[in-house]
Amino acid sequence: MSRKIGVIGSGHVGSTVAHYIVSAGFADELVMIDTNEAKVVADAVDLRDAMPNLPFHTNITVNDYSALKDADVVISAMGKVSLQSSKSSDRFAELPFTSAQVKDVAEQLKTSGFNGVLVDISNPCDVITSFYQQYTGLPKNQVIGTGTLLDSARMLREVSEELNVDPKSVHGYNLGEHGNSQFTAWSTVTVFDQPITELAAEKGLDLAAMDDGARKGGFQVFSGKQYTNYGVATAAVRLANAVLSNSMTVMPVSNYQADLDVYLSYPAVIGRKGVVKRVALDLTQEEQAKLQKSADFIKSNVKKYS
């Protein structure tokens, strides 16, 4: 069965997503769309130039929404990073641009007949993911944001560097908004299957500092090169691959939480049709309060900008 992925937006993130997909052979067909025709055409030609030196072949289509009708996954990477300030970390700076663009993109997706899984990277992730579901009319389980899949990875890196272990030996989640109201749910975090709360007591770990490091990880990268791309692109492609392979992988992604009536990041099982089921966590009372606070913040902004 042919694997088909669409990438909307060919900026720093979208082009990195496309390169990862092509270089790793994750799709048989790739549809690249951007309002900057010269840029997206150039990226497509550049990727085709790479193929003679790759062990895979990917057929690339440019700026044709109708080609998304039978796409398995569409990744939204549209945005305007120049709206971000080099002095602060606020993903809502892009909202005036992305909230306008999402309506047009959603309409184009509806017209194409697309009925796959829509993965949103565009910021502010949880709000834009909610808008995509609202404007496309796709089932809620088929509209997902990368959310704190990236922030959780940043937390795993923070912990692994502190303890000098492989980050894949650390497990746990950052939850809530992909933004400043997110938090590390330390009750979920283990290192070599040992609760980090026990390790913190033994080794005097500063959990608050690591939580802050994960939250501010994106700004650290942004302040150095004025954009981020590798971390979020890898998260998006990992999520797309979970859909393509029906892997039933648990990931902390932005998905609709019926009890909170909002899109935010919480672990969910990802398969062929997107979210298969939510994973129940035994959070502490403090963590539950933080999750509710994050949910309230996202909902207020969805309402404000709808």
| Catalytic pick among 19, 57, 171, 178 | 178
How far is Cα 189 from Cα 178, in angstroms, rounded to an integer? 18
**Annotation-wise, does 274 bind a ligand?**
no
**Annotation-wise, does 11 bind a ligand?**
yes
Closest CA to 84 of 99, 68, 100, 96: 96
Whether the upstream peptide bond of residue 195 has omega within 30° of 0, thus cis, is: no
Dihedral sign (CA 70, 72, 75, 76): positive
The answer to whether residue 178 is catalytic is yes
Q: Are 231 and 214 in contact (CB under 8 A)?
A: no
**Annotation-wise, does 57 bind a ligand?**
no
**Annotation-wise, does 306 bind a ligand?**
no
**Annotation-wise, does 9 bind a ligand?**
yes
**Annotation-wise, does 12 bind a ligand?**
yes
Tokens of 97: 């641009």
For residue 222, count CB atoms less than 10 angstroms from its CB and return exposed for 0-12, middle for 13-18, buried for 19 or more: middle
**Annotation-wise, does 232 bind a ligand?**
no
**Annotation-wise, does 112 bind a ligand?**
no
**Annotation-wise, does 28 bind a ligand?**
no
* Amino acid identity at 34: D
Tokens of 283: 């959070």
Number of other residues whose CB lies within 10 A of the CB of residue 288: 12
Q: Are 39 and 33 in contact (CB under 8 A)?
A: no
**Annotation-wise, does 113 bind a ligand?**
no
How far is Cα 240 from Cα 72, in angstroms, rounded to an integer? 9
- Strand, helix or coil for residue 210: helix
Q: What is the CA radius of gyration of the chain?
A: 19
- Strand, helix or coil for residue 246: coil
Whole-angstrom CA distances from 242 to 26, 41, 178, 254, 268 are: 11, 28, 20, 15, 12
Which residues are marked as active site?
178
- Binding site members: 9-14, 34, 121-123
**Residues of the binding site for NAD(+):** 9-14, 34, 121-123
